[in-house]
């Protein structure tokens, strides 16, 4: 009890196919695949800009540390 067996899922699948038809379900899955592909491409496009900004911040950070050390040595 509580869990759904393979027979339950097969019956649900059959009802969905009868209600919506194979063409409509196929189109829906195709659109889902296109959406996932576009999402992955957008994530991949955003990665280089984040990496570049992190490198810029790291490049600026040592300069700031050197300036504070120089100021401390003056005191």
Per residue in 1-17, pLDDT (tens digit) is 567 899 999 999 999 88
Is the model more confident about 64 or about 52? Answer: 52
pLDDT band at 64 (very low <50, low <70, confident <90, very high): low
Please check the confidence at residue 30 and state whether its pLDDT lies above 80.
yes
What is the C-alpha to C-alpha distance for residues 50 and 56, in angstroms, rounded to an integer? 10
Residue recorded with tokens 């491409």: 41
- Using alpha carbons only, give the angle 5, 32, 19 rounded to the nearest 5 degrees: 55
Tell me if the pTM is above 0.85.
no
Q: What DSSP string runs through 23-54?
A: HHHHHHHHHHHHHHHHHHHHHHHHHHHHHHHH
What is the C-alpha to C-alpha distance for residues 7 and 11, in angstroms, rounded to an integer? 6
């Amino acid at each position: 009890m509580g869990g759904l067996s393979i027979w339950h899922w097969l019956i649900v699948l059959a009802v969905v196919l009868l209600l919506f038809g194979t063409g409509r379900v196929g189109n829906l899955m195709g659109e889902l695949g296109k959406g996932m592909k576009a999402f992955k491409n957008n994530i991949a496009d955003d990665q280089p800009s984040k990496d570049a900004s992190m490198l810029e911040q790291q490049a600026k950070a040592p300069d700031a540390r050197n300036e504070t050390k120089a100021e401390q040595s003056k005191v």
